[in-house]
């Protein structure tokens, strides 16, 4: 089991690496690609849409044909597409390639979650999800620092060559260490109609939908931050590319520490209590940032401190909402994981470019987006009230 979890963690590591590593270069890319803040943020939007739709397709597909084949095929496709991103001649080409990169790379995320759901339930599943998230939480620490070094020495295109190499490593590790976790007698039969039916089944489960929306909207809070933070740090607070990388890395450290703490709390407190606590924390920190931005009273210390608190809330929500959601649909873990991932990607894709609509010299849209997303995540939890206990067959 430790080797399996390490392999799944490495697979999931690649996606936040692909999200975070080039973020310090966004202001630089606006000039290189002849666009503006909202334009260059479309590269993040396209990636998130691709990742969301990829999970929606590849998760149910893995319910039908097993976990290994789509996992490895998606990984190989992601390697090829990432290399092409480094060669993109224009913003339009980069946006299109980032979509395909996200779609193919989604295999490692969605199928990794389904593998855990195949082998564990309840508190054990929440703990395993927490361990994987702690491993992937290293990406926001490593990615901005490595990205800053690569960008200053080789430019933003070199980032994608590094990402391609990291993806190769993840795919080779998966081929060696991730076995088939879904026996043939537990696989769903049928084609596209069966896939659509499985998705409808999980969406028809009200409790699942509530937890899934809380999960997706909590990560929309994160993507609001990721989409606007480079402009906050460089254009408003006057940091250099290297200092911006360090600021991103510090939030990554905070997120990794928060995830490690959350993993320890699982088993001592119920997942429902931890989820609700995380929602309170996330809403409060996001609202405080919005008020400070509106009052033009932001400093680097205040901004980072409150972002750290918001990240702790996001970790509490995402770990426990994932476990609680998939526990509701044990008969369709691939489809359930797919809908979780699709919601995460699509909500994040909407949030990322909106934070740039106010221009490159204001943080108010970013923090307002965080607050609205956090409030909606809290409201979504109302769908889980009076939910019936789940049975082993998913009824």
**Torsion sign across C-alpha atoms 385, 388, 394, 395:** negative
More reliable by pLDDT, 53 or 103? 103
Domain 2-383 has CATH 1.20.1250.20: yes
Mean pLDDT of 317-344: 80
Q: Which residues neighbour 281 within 8 Å (Cβ) at sequence distance 6 or greater?
A: 309, 310, 312, 313, 316
pLDDT at 395: 47
CA distance 25 to 44: 12
Domain borders along the chain are 2-383
CA 341 to centroid of chain Cα atoms? 8
- pLDDT band at residue 73 under the 50/70/90 scheme: very high
Give 182's Cβ-side CA count (13 Å radius): 28
- pLDDT band at residue 67 under the 50/70/90 scheme: confident
More reliable by pLDDT, 153 or 301? 301
pLDDT at 353: 67
pLDDT digits over 250-270, tens only? 877 787 788 778 777 877 888
SS3 state at 132: helix
pLDDT at 169: 92
CA distance 3 to 30: 42
Q: Which of 361, 394, 393, 325 is nearest to 116 (CA)?
A: 325
Between the CA of residue 306 and those of 86, 151, 300, 309, what are the distances in Å?
35, 28, 10, 5
- pLDDT band at residue 391 under the 50/70/90 scheme: very low
> Among the ranges 36-50, 131-145, 214-228, 292-306, which has the highest mean pLDDT value?
292-306
């Amino acid at each position: 089991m430790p080797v399996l979890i390490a392999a799944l963690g490495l697979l999931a590591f690649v996606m936040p690496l692909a999200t975070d590593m080039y973020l310090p270069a966004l202001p630089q890319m606006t000039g290189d690609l002849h666009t503006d803040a909202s334009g260059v943020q479309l590269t993040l939007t396209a990636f998130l849409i691709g990742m969301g739709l990829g999970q929606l397709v590849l998760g149910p597909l893995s319910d039908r044909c097993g976990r290994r084949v789509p996992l490895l095929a998606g990984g190989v496709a992601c390697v090829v597409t990432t290399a092409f991103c480094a060669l993109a001649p224009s913003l339009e080409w980069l946006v299109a390639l980032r979509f395909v990169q996200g779609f193919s790379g989604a295999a490692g995320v969605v199928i990794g979650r389904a593998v855990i759901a195949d082998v564990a339930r309840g508190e054990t599943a929440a703990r395993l999800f927490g361990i994987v998230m702690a491993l992937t939480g290293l990406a926001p620490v490593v990615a901005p620092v490595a990205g800053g070094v690569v960008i200053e020495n080789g430019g933003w295109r070199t980032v994608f060559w590094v990402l391609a190499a990291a993806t190769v490593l993840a795919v080779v590790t998966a081929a060696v260490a991730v076995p088939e976790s879904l026996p043939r007698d537990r696989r769903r039969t049928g084609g596209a109609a069966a896939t659509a039916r499985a998705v409808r089944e999980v969406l028809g489960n009200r409790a699942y939908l509530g937890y899934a929306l809380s999960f997706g909207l909590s990560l929309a809070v994160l993507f609001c931050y990721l989409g606007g933070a480079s402009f906050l740090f460089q254009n408003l607070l006057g940091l250099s590319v290297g200092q911006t990388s360090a600021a991103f890395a510090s939030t990554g450290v905070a997120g990794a520490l928060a995830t490690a703490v959350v993993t320890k709390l699982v088993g001592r407190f119920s997942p429902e209590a931890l989820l609700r606590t995380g929602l309170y924390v996330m809403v409060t920190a996001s609202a405080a940032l919005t008020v400070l931005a509106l009052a033009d009273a932001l400093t680097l210390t205040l901004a980072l401190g409150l972002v750290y608190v918001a990240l702790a809330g996001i970790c509490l929500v995402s770990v426990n909402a994932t476990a609680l959601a998939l526990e509701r649909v044990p008969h369709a873990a691939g489809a359930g994981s797919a809908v979780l991932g699709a919601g995460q990607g699509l909500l994040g894709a909407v949030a990322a470019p909106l934070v740039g609509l106010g221009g490159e010299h204001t943080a108010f849209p970013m923090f307002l987006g965080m607050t609205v997303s956090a409030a909606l995540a809290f409201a979504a939890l109302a769908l889980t009230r009076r939910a019936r206990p789940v049975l082993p067959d998913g009824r």
